[in-house]
């Protein structure tokens, strides 16, 4: 291995970063603020362990939260060391879980060639299972059931425990989920499949039930490093705990102020209580920010200081000053989108300093992209959406992948159903229903039944011929999969099935679909080189290159497909923006009830998470930050009126310039006026005070118009006084200080409040 000087890669670290890198054995918590160089610390520490401490690369396990981050980690370490750290395991929790299961799934009753069901595939199976256990899917939503199952799995609650705790409980929904959970898990195993949550849960189950296997992995990995630790759930915590509890050489890097995934099971207590869980832990705070201007950091610090549940740190920078934050009041979502487009065009025309790729527009919900897309298309502004329809979710890609999944795993009934009659081969619904019934009666897979379709009673002869031909094709390619690379296999399959010919029949849209299939083939042909790097010397004893290709496809995240070099404006949700940075950032839709969401007021922890999400959005900006809101916005078919998000109130006034569009200033009697913008460094105060913003709170004609300090009566709680007013439309909430029962937060449309005229 080349012998780089340790000073060469340590000299650019600040004091706190070097402290984290120099730490050797024992637990280490690195609280890394936004833009504080945590990736540099992670990569330099790994290089330092290998080069200075003599730790073999294959004794190191590094866990990231995206495939993109894992690739960046490997590349940076290779650059520091002068060569790739051969044998080191690097990847996401899900990817590492899949890697472990590829080797040991038979210990759990699955084979090594299992399929990974994505969200849509698992939802279809849950829907089918829900119907099979006798529940009406119109009443009991499969999506809600999936969310409940995912939550249970992330908390390491298996089917048996869930049934014991809920089958006879008072919660009717949980009782019905208890019917679905065991049947769903049984169906997954019958199809030799895992869902995403299983990739976290099943490795833990493996380790807890096989002491010898756990000892092997503990011996293998002497040093563990975990990125984005604030977003770990119970299953991920247990995985790390099992591997690290014996030697204690665990470094976790995270930011409690950026914990934004509680809605999908992440537990902020994992990072807040790290020193308790791993005694003797050393803590290092990274507070020097290398990304944002002083203005932006001052705003971010002020916003997050409102949260109570945090360890506490203050970001600082050597950059002095910066452009003010622009707060824009618009009339509607269309007016908002037009203003943003105008401002982008203005900044681009000011000179060569800003390009399309330097600009991001962030929003709370995906639905908010519609108005922006409409305006951008009309203006001819180039853009990309991160988190829209994913490439691998497109119909034509799913069709091709359906064949590959069935070739890899003949037990995948979902893949069979998708492609058995595409392209058409004369197999109708009647034939499939009768074949499925016969397969169940015989206790064989539906693909095996298709191969013997001429034996199945009542299956029409034409349908039987198509089924037998289909099964023969799959079986032939299953044999080829162990002899050919996935790219060559895919090329041959698409040609034999005449995919492009069938897509050409769909006209111009079909040609676009064909281009997507060509892109998939190109990726598969390039996969060999990536495979050799990923295997790190391991062999394909129990699975094929096709199995690993499908695994990679299943684990691709939305942000992994973000192209930072594309000359386009990026549109994405605030959740998808985490980990990214842009010179210019717009945060749109800052209305109370939309951001924060109205339901967050019902739970203090949810409201704090919404504020952390706003903090994440602010800290994506390097040089310029815009905050925009609309006086009214169409949501779910209704025009909703609202006021500025209370989160903005925390930003010191001297950091903000206020702008109102001409439409907002002239419509509905609202205050404000159009302002000529002299340049990017303008400082404008339109005189919009809190009273002006409070005017919006009473604009829903269907609800009472309460004002702060007003006396009210409630049938149950008695008399009280209106405190805070939040939200808008159907989400309008009021805080009422009652004389006898204390303070209550009420949803106005249900509260039955009336004025107390006495």
Active site residues: 38-39, 227-228, 258, 620
CA 531 from centroid of its chain's CA atoms: 25
Closest CA to 408 of 465, 447, 458, 358: 447
Can you tell me the distance from the alpha carbon of 682 to that of 658, in angstroms, rounded to the nearest whole number? 10
Can you tell me the distance from the alpha carbon of 17 to that of 12, in angstroms, rounded to the nearest whole number? 9
Can you tell me the distance from the alpha carbon of 91 to that of 266, in angstroms, rounded to the nearest whole number? 18
Q: Are 580 and 292 in contact (CB under 8 A)?
A: no
DSSP string, 522-587: HHHHTHHHHHHHHHTT---SSS-HHHHHHHHHHT--GGGG--TTSSSEEEEEHHHHTT--EEEEEE
Can you tell me the distance from the alpha carbon of 757 to that of 326, in angstroms, rounded to the nearest whole number? 42
| Residues comprising the chain, all counted | 758
CA 555 from centroid of its chain's CA atoms: 12
Can you tell me the distance from the alpha carbon of 391 to that of 406, in angstroms, rounded to the nearest whole number? 20
Closest CA to 214 of 253, 186, 241, 250: 241
Handedness of CA 578, 580, 583, 586 (dihedral sign): negative
Q: Are 212 and 432 in contact (CB under 8 A)?
A: no
- Give the E-state strand segments of 631-703 in sequence order: 632-635, 638-641, 656-660
Handedness of CA 349, 351, 353, 355 (dihedral sign): positive
Can you tell me the distance from the alpha carbon of 505 to that of 521, in angstroms, rounded to the nearest whole number? 20
Can you tell me the distance from the alpha carbon of 561 to that of 402, in angstroms, rounded to the nearest whole number? 21
Can you tell me the distance from the alpha carbon of 96 to that of 221, in angstroms, rounded to the nearest whole number? 13
Cα R_g (the chain), whole angstroms: 28
Can you tell me the distance from the alpha carbon of 280 to that of 137, in angstroms, rounded to the nearest whole number? 51
Question: ∠ CA(444), CA(447), CA(453), 5° rounding?
Answer: 85
Helix pair angle (142-154, 172-190), 10° resolution: 80
Handedness of CA 456, 459, 465, 471 (dihedral sign): negative
Residues paired with 224 in a beta bridge: 61, 250
CA dihedral 180→185→188→193, nearest 10 degrees, is: 140
Q: Are 17 and 290 in contact (CB under 8 A)?
A: no
Strand order in the sheet with 250-254: 89-92, 60-64, 223-226, 250-254, 28-32, 282-286
Q: Are 460 and 468 in contact (CB under 8 A)?
A: no
Can you tell me the distance from the alpha carbon of 66 to that of 470, in angstroms, rounded to the nearest whole number? 37
DSSP string, 104-124: HGGGGT--TT-EEE-HHHHHH
Can you tell me the distance from the alpha carbon of 132 to that of 184, in angstroms, rounded to the nearest whole number? 10
- According to DSSP, residue 228 is labeled S
């Amino acid at each position: 291995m080349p012998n780089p000087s340790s000073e060469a890669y340590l000299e650019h670290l600040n004091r706190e970063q070097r402290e984290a890198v120099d730490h050797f054995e024992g637990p280490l918590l690195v609280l890394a603020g936004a833009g504080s160089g945590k990736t540099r610390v992670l990569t330099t520490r790994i290089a330092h362990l290998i080069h200075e401490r003599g730790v073999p690369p294959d004794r190191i396990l590094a866990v990231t939260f995206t495939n993109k981050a894992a690739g960046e980690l490997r590349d940076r370490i290779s650059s520091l060391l002068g060569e790739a750290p051969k044998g080191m395991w690097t990847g996401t929790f899900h990817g590492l879980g899949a890697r472990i299961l590829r080797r040991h799934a038979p210990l759990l009753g699955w084979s090594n060639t299992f399929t990974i069901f994505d969200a849509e595939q698992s939802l279809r199976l849950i829907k089918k299972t829900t119907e099979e256990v006798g529940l009406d899917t119109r009443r009991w939503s499969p999506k809600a059931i999936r969310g409940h199952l995912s939550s249970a799995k992330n908390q390491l609650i298996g089917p048996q425990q869930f049934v014991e705790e809920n089958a006879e409980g008072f919660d009717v929904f949980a009782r019905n989920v208890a019917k679905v959970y065991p049947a769903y898990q049984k169906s997954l195993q019958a199809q030799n499949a895992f869902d995403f949550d299983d990739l976290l849960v099943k490795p833990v189950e493996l380790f807890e039930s096989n002491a010898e296997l756990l000892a092997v992995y503990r011996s293998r990995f002497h040093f563990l490093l975990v990125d984005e630790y604030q977003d770990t759930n119970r299953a991920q915590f247990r995985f790390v705990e099992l591997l690290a509890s014996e030697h204690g050489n665990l470094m976790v890097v995270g930011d409690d102020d950026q914990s934004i995934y509680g809605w999908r099971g992440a537990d902020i207590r994992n990072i807040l209580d790290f020193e308790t869980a791993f005694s003797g832990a050393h803590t290092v705070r990274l507070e020097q920010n290398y990304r944002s201007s002083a203005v932006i950091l001052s705003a971010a610090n002020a916003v997050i200081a409102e949260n109570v549940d945090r360890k506490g740190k203050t970001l600082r920078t050597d950059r002095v000053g910066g452009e003010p934050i622009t707060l824009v009041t618009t009339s509607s979502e269309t007016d908002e989108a037009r203003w943003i487009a105008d401002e982008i065009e203005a900044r681009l025309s000011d000179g060569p300093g800003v390009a399309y790729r330097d600009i991001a527009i962030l929003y709370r919900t995906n639905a908010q992209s519609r108005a922006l897309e409409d305006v951008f298309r009309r203006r001819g502004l180039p853009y990309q959406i991160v988190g829209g329809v994913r490439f691998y979710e497109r119909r034509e890609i799913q069709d091709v992948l359906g064949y590959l999944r069935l070739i890899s795993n003949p037990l995948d009934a979902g893949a069979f159903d998708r492609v058995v009659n595409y392209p058409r081969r004369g197999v109708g619904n009647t034939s499939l229903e009768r074949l499925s019934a016969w397969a169940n009666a015989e206790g064989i897979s539906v693909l095996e039944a298709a191969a013997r379709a001429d034996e199945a009673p009542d299956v029409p002869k034409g349908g039987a011929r198509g089924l037998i031909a289909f099964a023969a094709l799959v079986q032939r390619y299953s044999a080829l999969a162990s002899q050919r690379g996935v790219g060559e296999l895919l090329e041959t399959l698409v040609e034999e099935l005449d995919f492009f010919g069938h897509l050409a029949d769909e006209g111009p849209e079909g040609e676009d679909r064909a281009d997507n299939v060509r892109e998939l083939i190109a990726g598969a042909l390039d996969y060999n080189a990536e495979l050799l790097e990923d295997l790190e010397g391991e062999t394909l004893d129990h699975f094929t290159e096709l199995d690993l290709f499908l695994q990679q496809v299943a684990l691709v995240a939305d942000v992994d497909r973000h192209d930072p070099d594309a000359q386009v404006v990026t549109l994405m949700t605030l959740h998808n923006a985490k980990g990214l940075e842009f010179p210019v950032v717009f945060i749109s839709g800052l209305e109370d009830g939309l951001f924060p969401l109205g339901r967050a007021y019902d739970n203090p922890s949810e409201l704090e998470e919404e504020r952390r999400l706003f903090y994440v959005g602010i800290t994506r900006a390097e040089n310029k930050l815009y905050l925009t809101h609309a006086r009214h916005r169409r949501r779910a078919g209704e025009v909703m009126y609202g006021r500025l998000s209370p989160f903005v109130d925390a930003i010191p006034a001297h950091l903000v310039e206020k702008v109102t569009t001409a439409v907002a200033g002239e419509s509905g009697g609202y205050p404000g006026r159009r302002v000529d913008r002299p340049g990017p460094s303008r400082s404008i105060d339109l005189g919009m005070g809190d009273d002006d913003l409070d005017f919006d709170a009473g604009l829903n004609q269907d609800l009472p118009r309460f004002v702060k300090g007003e006396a009210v009566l409630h049938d149950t709680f008695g008399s009280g006084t209106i405190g805070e007013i939040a939200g808008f439309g159907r989400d309008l909430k009021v805080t009422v200080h009652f004389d006898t029962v204390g303070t209550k937060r009420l949803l106005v449309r249900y509260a039955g409040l009336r004025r107390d005229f006495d």
